[in-house]
Amino acid sequence: MFEPMVTADWTVEDHLRDKPANAVALYERFVELVAACGPFTYAVAKTTITVKGTRRGFAGARPTEKGHLVGYLDLQRVVSDPRIRNAAPYTKRLFVHHFRVSDLAELDDVFAGWLAEAYQVGAGAHLDPKV
């Protein structure tokens, strides 16, 4: 008899469980920066915690066992910075930026500005033909 595979839904708490305190603090600061941009929702999967705007997901992150925070930001331009591990075209108007941070100081005003830009993507800014 065939038994379908049952998978539990992942939660934010699942991602935080048993992670180093530094990684959890980085994630909490990331969420504070996102919340400063405006209202958002979560879409949690086994691979990452995505934050969504009114139109789409715009960023995501997850704490690691090694004490880092890794994630991505969807921006309408390419950013070059040591925190950005790589940036690649996602669509004609969007570039996905994969980041890794290890210290709270790296989640500074510059990073907050990138999140604000990404938040606008979550609201559909990339759909404006004038951009």
The CATH number given to whatever domain includes residue 66 is 3.90.1150
Task: Count structural domains, the chain.
Answer: 1
Find, among 39, 34, 30, the residue nearest to 61 by Cα: 30
Radius of gyration of the chain (CA): 16
Mean pLDDT, to the nearest integer, of 11-22? 92
The reply to whether 5 falls in a domain is no
Strand partners, 95: 75, 89
Q: What distance in Å separates the CA atoms of residue 85 and residue 54, rounded to the nearest whole number?
A: 27
Query: How high does pLDDT run on average in the chain?
Result: 91
The reply to whether 69 falls in a domain is yes
**Per-residue model confidence as pLDDT tens digits over 49-102:** 999 999 999 999 999 999 999 999 999 999 999 999 999 998 888 999 999 999
The reply to whether 12 falls in a domain is no
| Assessment of whether the complete model's pTM goes beyond 0.85 | yes
Domain that holds residue 46: 20-123
The reply to whether 85 falls in a domain is yes
pLDDT higher than 80, residue 1: no
The reply to whether 64 falls in a domain is yes
